[in-house]
Chain A
Amino acid sequence: MNRLAQNGYVTLISRCLIGIVFVLAAMEKISLPDEFAVSLQAYQIVPMQAINVIAIFLPWLELVCGIFLLAGICVRSSAAIVSLMLAAFVAGISVALSRHLNIDCGCFGSAHASPIGWQRVVEDGGLFILAVNLWAHPKSVFAMGNS
């Protein structure tokens, strides 16, 4: 199992999968930040004063990490940041679901609006496991950097 987790092609697939998801997720949020801010506000978790700053900053962090993972640059650091983001997404969606909030996920921007659900928690949880594995075993094939 450990050998599989360290396999260069497995980590390559993880890098590509997480990278594509994060780049796609970032694009719409960057083009319509106010819609993302509205989605964030609906979770009722983030303080009002911090919502816009997060709505401005988070999509770019997703984009930079996504591109770095796809290119194989700073893989370990990018995977660490992505893991933290995914853990936060899982926690946020779980809290909203436990409070029976019927809201847009905001995951891929307002143009692809979809309600939050346990399916999304499972998807993000799966990506989180892949990202943690990438952090632990960052070496893979077709990477521009060494870590």
Chain B
Amino acid sequence: MLRELGGILLLSIVLAFSYNAFSTHGLPLMRKETKKVVTSDSTLFQQLSLPQTKQIDTTTVVAPLHKHAMEHRDSIAKAFTKKDNGYSVISLDQVKRLLKEKRGVFVDAREPDEFDAGHLPGAINIPYLESENHFNQMMQIPQDTLIVVYCSSSECPLGRDLIDFMRGMDFKKVMLYDEGWEGWTKAGMDKKGALK
């Protein structure tokens, strides 16, 4: 039996690493830490000074309407595998300023029951685990809109996963509020964005 076990393991190793070496989706043997880039105020708020605006619910968004995502709808799941750009992270103060100025679309990547229990003011819920079901909803958002995605905390990967998905849809300005809902509540903020 030991010979069989060894044979199965050896066969799997040979197949796995041979395929990985020749596959276009092959991985490096060592994984790098997730890259997070702090976004400066000038970068963040300068992006919002574009001339065209559009009103979505209570939020003013900027940029032309998204055109191409529908044509590539079937390839979205494959397209969001590129993660080499890292994530642009914004702070609580920047979140508060964006909310105060009603800029950007806030997207909660958590499950609907968590969203219903509490979320950032004006946020919409696009649970990453059901993101493909929300494709049409995302299509309504112009691709140059500033999007701020958050999850429960920096340990939650769903926000980062949703950002990858949205990048696959060609959204250009997707930021991560890394502290997420826990960071928001720990700072003493309530659902309306005011201090308790």
**A, B co-complexed:** yes
**Chain A interface residues toward B at CB < 8 A:** 30-35, 37-38, 41-42, 44, 48-49, 51-53, 55-57, 59-61, 63-65, 68, 74, 76-78, 80-81, 101-104, 110-111, 113-115, 147
Q: Report the Cα distance A31→B78, complex, angstroms.
A: 10
Question: Which residue on B lies nearest to A46, using beta carbons?
Answer: B31
Q: Report the Cα distance A104→B78, complex, angstroms.
A: 17
Partner of A56, one of B27, B111, B114: B27
Partner of B161, one of A64, A101, A104: A104
Shortest beta-carbon distance from B114 to chain A in Å: 7
Residue contact B4 to A77, C-beta cutoff 8 Å? yes
Known: A74-B4, A104-B161. A44 touches B25 (CB 8 A): no
Question: Which residue on B lies nearest to A76, using beta carbons?
Answer: B1
A115 / chain B contacts, CB cutoff of 8 Å: 111, 129
Residue contact B157 to A103, C-beta cutoff 8 Å? yes
Q: Report the Cα distance A111→B4, complex, angstroms.
A: 33
Residue contact B155 to A101, C-beta cutoff 8 Å? yes
Q: Report the Cα distance A57→B28, complex, angstroms.
A: 13
A51 / chain B contacts, CB cutoff of 8 Å: 31
Residue contact A35 to B81, C-beta cutoff 8 Å? yes
Residue contact A81 to B8, C-beta cutoff 8 Å? yes
A41 / chain B contacts, CB cutoff of 8 Å: 31, 157
Residue contact A34 to B27, C-beta cutoff 8 Å? yes
Q: Report the Cα distance A37→B34, complex, angstroms.
A: 12
Shortest beta-carbon distance from A65 to chain B in Å: 7
A-B contact pairs, 8 of them (CB 8 A): A33-B27, A34-B25, A34-B83, A41-B31, A74-B7, A78-B8, A81-B8, A101-B155
Residue contact B5 to A61, C-beta cutoff 8 Å? no
A114 / chain B contacts, CB cutoff of 8 Å: 129
- One digit per residue, 1 when the CB lies within 8 angstroms of any chain A CB and 0 when it does not, for chain B 52-92 equals 00000000000000000000000001100101000000000
Q: Report the Cα distance A57→B81, complex, angstroms.
A: 19
Q: Report the Cα distance A76→B1, complex, angstroms.
A: 8
Given contacts A44-B155, A60-B13, A64-B15, 18 further A-B contacts (CB under 8 A): A32-B78, A34-B25, A41-B31, A48-B31, A51-B31, A52-B29, A52-B30, A64-B12, A74-B7, A76-B4, A77-B5, A77-B8, A101-B156, A102-B111, A102-B114, A110-B77, A111-B77, A147-B4
B20 CB-CB contact with A under 8 Å: yes
- One digit per residue, 1 when the CB lies within 8 angstroms of any chain A CB and 0 when it does not, for chain B 107-144 equals 00011001000000000000011000000000000000
B17 / chain A contacts, CB cutoff of 8 Å: 56-57
Q: Report the Cα distance A102→B130, complex, angstroms.
A: 13
Partner of B30, one of A31, A49, A57, A68: A49
B45 CB-CB contact with A under 8 Å: no
Q: Report the Cα distance A40→B129, complex, angstroms.
A: 15
Residue contact A81 to B27, C-beta cutoff 8 Å? no
Partner of B9, one of A59, A61, A110: A61
B93 CB-CB contact with A under 8 Å: no
